[in-house]
Structure 1
Amino acid sequence: MSTSPGSGTPPSRGRVGRPRAQGRAEDGLSAREGVLAAAAELFTRQGYASTTTRAIAEGAGLRQASMYHYFGGKEDILAALLEGTVRPSLDLARQLLLLAPDETAETRLWALCRADVELLCGGPHNLGALYLLPETGASRFADFRRLRDELRAAYAALFAATKAGQALPEAERELRADLLFGLIEGVILIRRQAAEHTPLTLPEAAADSALRLAGTTERRLADASARGAALLRELRRPQEL
């Protein structure tokens, strides 16, 4: 599962207060983006429970009342950040699942693994660490949990379509798929504990390791990684124009 704060996030529940008069701040962020960026730094640096909405508003250069024009409260901000770490990968997974006639399952699985790790490690703050917050079990975060479950299911579907996955009994296949998904999300802890593993080195290494865990042979892995990297470039090209 770059993490751009708030990508693919739902509308907030409350819209009280006034929006910021100017469209964008000196850093180029809109007011809403500024709130998410400030919250991302505060949540990961000093903790969710210890962060106040006043501190978030001040970090975004807003009055506290103005912040409520964009978000109903601290839970809404956390939900937006969490969903932003999953939605882009889920959107990609849906694309990859539709490419069955054109690409091997190993290629598509490698591409998803690499892109997902890039997302989890690409931002300035380790937002994936927020997955471990006990607050994420609350009903407000049901959409985040649903998106994450859908992403896990996409991983399982791609793995089941690989040659190694097809050869396994169902119970073993499901266990291996869960282990694979856990390996990818494990970069959250690696990033927190070992800063020398930069976003430049982790994505490809994690994708290779995931396919090895899936039972892919080294020969098929070499082909999947080369073709998977090319596939990602192809899928991203329209977005770069």
Structure 2
Amino acid sequence: MSASVAVEGGRARPGRPRHIPVQKSSSVAPRDQILQASASLFTSKGFAATSTREIAEAVGIRQASLYYHFVGKDEILAALLGATVRPSQVKVAQIEAEVPPECPEAALFLLALIDVHTLANAPHNVGMLALLPDVVSAGKGEVYVEFQDERRKLASAYATFGTRLAKQHGVTTADEALGAMLIQQVEGIITLRADGVAVDEVRANEIAAGCLRLCGCRGDQISNAQQVAEDFVARHLRRGAPTTS
């Protein structure tokens, strides 16, 4: 997975020309430059302490030009947070289609591994911003609804895959609770990144294996699941260890 963020959405609106034109050699679209600069500022200075003027200056555009791409800071943050869940969530149907139903351990391992890659490569560890009061509060209207809905769908996929596996091992945790436990196991990578812990391929596999252990798996089942997951990743995703910044 790429360490750059490419997020769809946002409302285009009239705006003035860029104050400082993008270098012709740059392959990064202006909207993505705004997202990258915002991720850096939000995680270093804090969301509340960062102004749209600072973001615009970091990119080299007028503040009015920023509003051509985003209404304001909340919409930028919503786009960044969406990129921490969407790449994993959209792979669920493909996992269900390609992993045999008799191998629920492989499906869960694969989902967790993809999710680790997604979080490890999110710019500047923006996942830590998901717990900001503005994000979890219902008072911010609809700006964060899409992110929250996508995360719920991802947690539901964890619950579905995990429950299939847990039933084989006599684990009786309720579906919803198990899904929450599994997604939180993977999201622990956000704390690891914040603590400066490197997230390489070995640690990614350890985190995914931890999800299987929560569902009662041991030994050979985990090894087999890892092999299936690695084959899938080799076919469908860019190879290489997760990277953190």
TM-score, structure 1 normalization:
0.87
Query: Secondary structure, in 3 states, of the residue corresponding to 1:49?
Result: coil
User: After TM superposition, where is structure 1 displaced by more than 6 Å over at least 4 residues in a row?
Assistant: none
Q: How many residues align?
A: 232
Question: Cα offset for 1:32?
Answer: 0.6
Distance of 1:196 and 1:109 partners within structure 2: 24
Identity %: 34
Q: Work out the CA distance in 2 between the residues paired with 1:72 and 1:114.
A: 34
* Residue matched to 2:153: 150
On the 8 A contact 2:7/2:80 being kept in 1, the answer is no
- Alignment partner of 1:175 is 2:177: yes
Give the superposition deviation at 1:26.
Answer: 4.6
Superposition deviation, residue 189 in structure 1: 1.0
Q: Judging changes above 3 Å, is the alpha-carbon distance between structure 1 residues 200 and 61 closer, same or farther for their aligned structure 2 residues?
A: farther
Matches of 1:59 and 1:142, distance apart in 2: 28
Query: 1:209 maps to which residue?
Result: 210
- Indicate the RMSD between aligned Cα atoms, in angstroms: 2.3
Per the TM alignment, residue 205 of structure 1 is displaced from its structure 2 partner at its CA by 1.6
**Alpha carbons of structure 1 residues 232 and 199: separation in structure 2 relative to 1, 3 Å:** same
The alignment status of 1:16 with 2:19, answered yes or no, reads: no
What CA deviation, in whole Å up to 9, does each residue of 1:115-157 have, x standing for no partner? 1111101244101101111110232201110000000001111
Judged with a 3 Å threshold, the aligned counterparts in structure 2 of structure 1 residues 24 and 207 are, in CA distance, closer, same or farther, namely: farther
Query: CA separation in 2, counterparts of 1:32 and 1:218?
Result: 46
Query: Which piece of structure 1 moves more, 51-60 or 201-210?
Result: 201-210
The 1:23/1:98 distance shift into structure 2, 3 A limit, reads: farther
Distance 2:83 2:32 in 1: 12
Q: Which runs of 5+ in 2 are unaligned?
A: 239-245
Structure 2 partner of 1:221: 222
What are the within-5 Å matches in structure 2 for residues 84-163 of structure 1? 84-101=83-100, 104-137=103-136, 138-139=140-141, 140-162=143-165
Q: Residues of 2 paired with 1:54 and 1:60: CA distance?
A: 10
Could you give the per-residue CA deviations for residues 195-221 of structure 1, whole angstroms, max 9, x where no partner exists? 132344432121111111221121100
Please tell me the residue identity of whatever aligns with 1:181: I
Task: Provide, for residues 17-40 of structure 1, a one-character-per-residue CA deviation record: whole Å limited to 9, x for no partner.
Answer: 135496766543111111000000
